[in-house]
Structure 1
Amino acid sequence: MAFEFNSDKFIETPETTTKLDQLIKLLNQYPYAHAQIVGHTDSIGTKHYNKKLSEKRALSVLEILKKKGVDTNRLSVIAKGESQPIATNMYAPGRAKNRRVELIILSFQYTVDE
């Protein structure tokens, strides 16, 4: 899920909306599933500022999930700032890729009724 430079506003596109809807469906299908919402930034700005911005980004996605009915007690927010880039920060396209939130399913319990 992507964000504009210096913003915690989630960019809604057909692709991001589809991915978010898939996650919501999975979390609703498995009510014991736990997930992490991990915020990231590019490397422009101070480490402290980027850490706070990445937290705000993760919290904005948490709020979207909450509004769509996901139990937020099963979700945790982690701020990584600029520490885990997936692309180079030397050029604008790479920085844009690094401004993101990742949703990680930690565990879930699946029970088969007899």
Structure 2
Amino acid sequence: MKLTGRESKERRHRRIRGRVSGSTERPRLAIFRSHQHIYAQVIDDTQHHTLVAASTVEPELKSKLASGSNCNASVEVGKLIAARSLEKGITKVVFDRGGNLYHGRVKALAEAAREAGLDF
């Protein structure tokens, strides 16, 4: 039986989560992409805490952006998550693309976070 796109993504996500885990020294940068927005969280999986979060839903970004679902919005979220992480003393993370392909909005967010100072 052929898998749908959603089923393929869920299967990829389960496989990735089996391998990728964040620690206190190197937390996980998790990405969730919806049709209208993009969300990023830095998570410590050992303590089950979200340390830092950023998304296009936040008022400070929403007012600047025409749309929350394009690469420009992803770049802004990447810069914001990196700035907030560095503020809390987090410099190294493990990247979790959340089952999405490393392309487009996910790639734009990752590259912006790298340029802003996060190491992964």
Same-fold status (TM-score > 0.5): no
Could you tell me the TM-score, scaled by structure 1's length?
0.31
Query: Which of structures 1 and 2 has the bigger CA Rg?
Result: 1
Higher RCO (CA-CA < 8 Å; seq separation 6+): 1
Could you tell me the TM-score, scaled by structure 2's length?
0.30
